[in-house]
Each structure stands twice: as C-alpha cells, then as structure tokens.
C-alpha cells in the first residue's frame, strides 16, 4: 500500500511544454510558467467493446477523484483499435455514463464525431507501426514472429524459430522476463494491428502520462508494459525511458457474488441497465467503496 501524498518526481520537471499528441488537435500552449499541476497527468482509457459497468465506474471515479485532489490533468483516451468489437453504441455509452457520473476531463474527445475525427487510435496506426519496426530492427531483437492460431496460444514455440513477420499472417510477441505472468505476450496482432499492450505504452508515453490508476487485474500488464518499454528504449525509441517514471497504482476490483471478475458482457452490472432500474448517481457513489479503493491503491 502506498500513501496518496504525492512526491513530485523531479525528472518530470523536463515536461515543461506539452503538446497534444493527436493529429489535427490544437497544440496546447502554456502562457505561464509551468507549475506542479502541469506535470501531473493521468488518464482513463475505456474500451468500447461493451457498455460501461460498475467496475469501470469504480476505476474511473477513483482516477477522477485522485486527479482532482492533486490538481492533475485527466485525459480521456478511448482504446478503439479493436475495430470489429468497437460499437458506436458502446462509444456513445462512454460519453453518456461519464457525463452522468459527473466525470469531466481536460483533454480527449467530447463525442463520437470528435473521437473519429481527431482522437481515434486508428489515426495513430503509423506511430504504432513505427514502434514495431524499431523493435523488429533493433540490434538485439527482443520480439519474434508467431504463427500460432488462437487455440495454440498457450504452447507457442515460435520464440526460437526465427520466423519472418508477415503482416496479416503472423503476430509479433515480446520475449518475456522469467517472472512474467503474461509470458511472451502479443504486441502486434495477426490482423496486422497493434495489440493493446503496445498501443497503450506508446500512447501513455506520447500523452506524457505521469500516473496510471488501474485495477489489480492489470498488474501483470503493468509488469509486461515496463518490460516492453525497456525493449523500446533499447531499440532507441525516443522517450521510452520516461515510462519508468510513471507511477502505477492498482485498486481492488469489484467482484460478483461468487467472487468473479465483472465483465462487459454481464448486462446486470452495466450502468445503463442499473440506471434503467432507477440507480441514481448518489446511490452509485454511496455503493462504491471509493474510500477503500483509494486507501488500497497499491503499487
Ligand atoms: Zn507461436
């Protein structure tokens, strides 16, 4: 468990001027000397593959509370790379539920049109591809191509086969450290799209995120992403070292009656359904154990 009292990392003093990383977005201009508040940046990053549920609510409200308590900027980033699973209704649901919860953000799309025009991850495919190329061409290559089908995934033996990466036919994985729960996770999907892990690391770097608050279920992702950032740094990716300055905090999850993880496919816990059943904002905030979530933020 860690204290929520912030110690500013002096290295973040370098971040005196931030510009939006999104194409076409207006560049942010600082008209006054940067203060501590300008160095603190966190984000919420929903995936529009289903409707937001109370687990998302806990995570986003905890992040928002933290941001507002520390004068940090909050960025909304919608992880919409998984095109076939991204639904317009789910995108609209993100905006509607955030607004209903009273969560406001300093940077990011305000609606679906803005997402598609300016902020969509699909507009940043070139950036992710650049990272893949750098990892692949690194003098000490730490990634490898994999031709396993999804059903074979647990026993991938492609690590030492020296396969060529054929976009659309092979995936690319990162060699894991020994202690990694995720193993040699995919960083580039067979469908020739970046995997969540790579897109998330590149976005967090480009957005100059200083603090990431996420559920405990993503602890193994955090470990993997740090490893990926190390590989990027070794490959010469500018700023990849900055990933290690990010403070990660993990909050406990809300679980179902049988201790199961909430899923977006479980309609019963979606905010939209609960609201149809009469849930008010006050009831939501009362029912979520927000203090516990904050108290138990752990590294
Ligand atoms: Zn494989």
Q: How far is the first Cα of the chain from the last one, in angstroms, to the nearest whole number?
A: 7
Which residues are CB-contacts of 169 (< 8 A; sequence separation ≥ 6)? Answer: 147, 190
Give the pLDDT mean for 161-173. Answer: 95
148 CA → ligand 1 middle, Å: 4
For residues 265 and 260, what is the distance between their CA atoms, to the nearest angstrom?
13
CA of 202 to the centre of ligand 1 (A): 24
For the chain, what percent of residues have pLDDT higher than 70? 77
User: Rounded mean pLDDT of 159-170?
Assistant: 94
| CA 189–ligand 1 middle distance (angstroms) | 12
Looking at residue 161, what is its pLDDT? 94
Listed ranges 16-20, 28-32, 48-52, 112-116; the one with the highest mean pLDDT: 112-116
Pick from 90, 76, 73: which is nearest to 121 by CA?
Answer: 76
* Listed residue (2, 70, 77, 69) closest to 37, CA to CA: 70
Q: How far is the CA of 241 from the centre of ligand 1 (A)?
A: 29
For residue 252, pLDDT beyond 70: yes
* CATH numeric code, 39-295: 3.40.50.620
Helix (H) or strand (E) holding 125: helix 125-136
Q: Write the DSSP symbol of residue 217.
A: G
Q: Position of tokens 């300016």?
A: 118
Give the separation between CA 105 and CA 63, rounded to whole angstroms: 11
Per-residue model confidence as pLDDT tens digits over 177-236: 766 778 899 999 999 999 999 999 999 999 999 999 999 989 999 999 999 999 999 999
Beta partners for 76?
44
For ligand 1, the distance from its centroid to the CA atom of residue 286, given in whole angstroms, is 47
User: Would you state the pLDDT for residue 106?
Assistant: 97
- Tell me how far the alpha carbon of residue 293 lies from the centroid of ligand 1, in angstroms: 38
Buried b (16+ CB within 10 A) or exposed e, 120-144: bbeebeebbbebbebbbebeeebbb
Q: Output the pLDDT for position 21.
A: 31
Q: Is the pLDDT of residue 11 over 60?
A: no
Return the half-sphere exposure (C-beta side, CA atoms, 13 A cut-off) of residue 101: 29
244 and 225 Cβ atoms separated by less than 8 Å: no
Cα of 80 from ligand 1 centre, angstroms: 25
Contact 121, 80 (CB under 8 A): yes
146 CA from centroid of ligand 1 (Å): 4
Q: What is the pTM of this model?
A: 0.83
Q: How much of the chain, in percent, has pLDDT values that exceed 90?
A: 63
Burial class (CB in 10 A: 0-12, 13-18, 19+), 164: exposed
The larger pLDDT score, comparing residue 123 to residue 255, is at 123
Distance 182 CA to ligand 1 centre (A): 14
Domain-by-domain residue ranges, the chain? Answer: 39-295
Q: How far is the CA of 107 from the centre of ligand 1 (A)?
A: 39
Distance from the alpha carbon of residue 156 to the mean position of ligand 1, in angstroms = 4
Q: Residues 269-278: what's their mean pLDDT?
A: 90
Average pLDDT score over the chain: 83
CA atoms within 13 A on the CB side of 225: 24
pLDDT at 38: 54
CA dihedral 251, 257, 261, 265 (to 10 degrees): -130
Cβ–Cβ under 8 Å, residues 212 and 260: no
Specify the pairing of strand 186-188 against strand 171-174.
antiparallel
Cα 171 to ligand 1 centroid, rounded to whole Å: 8
DSSP codes, 153-192: GGG--GGGT-----TTT-EEEEPPPTT-TT-S-EEE-TTS
């Amino acid at each position: 468990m860690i204290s929520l009292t912030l110690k500013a990392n002096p290295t973040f003093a370098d971040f005196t001027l931030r510009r939006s990383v999104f194409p076409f977005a207006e560049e942010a201009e600082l008209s006054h000397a940067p203060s501590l508040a300008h160095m603190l940046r966190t984000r919420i990053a929903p995936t529009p593959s289903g409707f937001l549920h109370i687990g998302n609510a806990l995570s986003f409200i905890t992040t928002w509370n933290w941001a507002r308590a520390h004068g940090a900027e909050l960025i909304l980033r919608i992880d919409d790379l998984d095109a076939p699973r991204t639904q317009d209704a789910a995108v609209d649901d993100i905006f509607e539920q955030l607004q209903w919860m009273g969560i406001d953000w300093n940077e990011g799309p305000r609606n679906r049109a803005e997402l598609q025009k300016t902020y969509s991850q699909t507009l940043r495919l070139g950036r992710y591809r650049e990272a893949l190329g750098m990892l692949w061409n690194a003098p000490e290559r730490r990634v490898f191509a994999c031709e396993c089908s999804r059903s074979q995934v647990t026993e991938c033996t492609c690590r030492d086969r020296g396969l060529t990466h054929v976009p659309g036919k092979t995936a690319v994985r990162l060699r894991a450290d020994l202690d990694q729960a995720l193993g040699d996770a995919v960083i580039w999907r067979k469908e020739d799209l970046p995997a969540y892990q790579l897109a998330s690391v590149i976005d967090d770097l480009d957005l100059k995120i200083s603090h990431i608050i996420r559920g405990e279920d993503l602890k193994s992702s955090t470990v993997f992403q740090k490893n990926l950032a190390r590989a990027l740094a070794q490959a010469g990716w500018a700023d990849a070292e900055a990933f290690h300055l990010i403070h990660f905090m993990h909050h406990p999850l809300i679980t179902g009656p049988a201790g199961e993880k909430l899923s977006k496919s479980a309609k019963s816990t979606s905010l939209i359904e609960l609201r149809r059943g009469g849930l008010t904002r006050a009831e939501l905030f009362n029912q979520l154990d927000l203090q516990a979530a904050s108290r138990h933020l752990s590294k």
